[in-house]
């Protein structure tokens, strides 16, 4: 069985914005993200992105836009990410979906496809919905709070992906 770190995208792998991030010129990868991904990969973790992309349902951007941003991330981090799962739905615009976090169908699909051991796996995200999705499938969670004074929703908190990666590796 494989061990995995599931990663939210916006706010973890790239800077989040008040509007949607779907253009490469707006896809800003914070310092330490590539190092954090490399640290996790060297520790033997699969890396799978799990992201809600409701802007597709709203008609603001396309699936192709999401994949262009993912390819840019892959190019920047030397293809360290094993897969990306994204939910294009939003209940106010097209349909309710169990893919959409805080539901866990994206994680469940990845767990089945890649034979992932949930007891050795993690979800790293910056929102309560990320923590909830991770807990539903039984993985440990790290809440990226960006400021450590915020109350964490996960099993652990960190201010960024590099700090979260160091923690995950230290306890595995």
Q: Is the pLDDT of residue 149 over 70?
A: no
**Domain residue limits, the chain:** 4-171
From 17, 171, 7, select the one nearest 82 (Cα to Cα).
Answer: 7
- Residue 151 in this model has a pLDDT that exceeds 80: no
21 pLDDT above the threshold of 80? yes
Homologous superfamily of 4-171: HAD superfamily/HAD-like (3.40.50.1000)
Spatial separation of the C-alpha atoms in residues 50 and 12, rounded to whole Å: 11
pTM of the predicted model as reported, rounded to 2 decimal places: 0.94
What pLDDT score does 77 carry? 95
- Is-catalytic flag, 103? no
Whether 126 is catalytic: no
Kindly provide the b/e burial profile for residues 99-117, where b requires at least 16 CB atoms within 10 angstroms of the residue's own CB: bbbebbbbbbebbeeeebe
The pLDDT of residue 27 is 96
Listed range (52-56, 61-65, 124-128, 132-136) with the worst mean pLDDT: 52-56
Per-residue pLDDT tens for 80-99?
A: 999 999 998 877 777 778 88
Residues 6+ apart with CB under 8 A from 119: 138
């Amino acid at each position: 069985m494989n061990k995995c770190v599931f990663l939210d995208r916006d706010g973890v792998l790239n800077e989040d914005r008040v509007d949607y991030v779907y253009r490469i010129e707006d896809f800003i990868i914070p310092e330490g993200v590539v190092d954090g991904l490399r640290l996790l990969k060297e520790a033997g973790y699969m890396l799978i992105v799990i992201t809600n992309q409701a802007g597709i349902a709203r008609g603001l951007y396309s699936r192709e836009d999401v994949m262009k941003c993912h390819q840019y991330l892959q190019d920047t981090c030397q293809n360290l990410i094993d897969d990306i799962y994204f939910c294009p739905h939003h209940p106010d615009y097209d349909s309710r979906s169990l893919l959409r976090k805080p539901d866990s169908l994206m994680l469940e699909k990845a767990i089945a496809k890649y034979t992932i051991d949930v007891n050795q796996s993690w979800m790293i995200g910056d929102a309560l919905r990320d923590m909830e999705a991770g807990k539903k499938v039984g993985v440990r969670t790290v809440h990226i709070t960006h400021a450590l004074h915020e109350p964490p929703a996960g099993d652990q908190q960190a201010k960024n992906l590099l700090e979260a990666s160091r923690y995950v590796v230290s306890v595995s």
